[in-house]
């Protein structure tokens, strides 16, 4: 798959997420677009803590 195709799919997913939020009258949304290394307990913990800062 080409990088532009992957980017387009990612954008489409994010756009649909925002559209769904609009249906619920949500003014702001947040989406974590970084990958978390689930094999690393440290990475998981750091990622979760950073989401709530």
CA 7 to chain centre: 13
Token pair 């990622």 in the structure block, residue: 47
Q: What is the pLDDT of residue 9?
A: 81
Q: What is the pLDDT of residue 16?
A: 94
The yes-or-no verdict on residue 1 having pLDDT over 60 is: no
3-37: pLDDT as tens digits: 677 678 888 989 999 999 999 999 998 887 667 77
pLDDT band per the 50, 70, 90 thresholds, residue 44: confident
pTM (2 d.p.): 0.55
- Give the separation between CA 10 and CA 18, rounded to whole angstroms: 13
Name the nearest CA neighbour of 30 among 19, 20, 18, 22.
Answer: 18
């Amino acid at each position: 798959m080409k990088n532009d195709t992957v980017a387009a799919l990612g954008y489409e997913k994010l756009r649909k997420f925002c559209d769904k939020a609009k249906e619920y009258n949500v003014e702001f949304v947040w989406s974590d677009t970084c990958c978390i290394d689930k094999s690393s307990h440290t990475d998981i913990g750091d990622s979760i803590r950073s989401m709530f800062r």
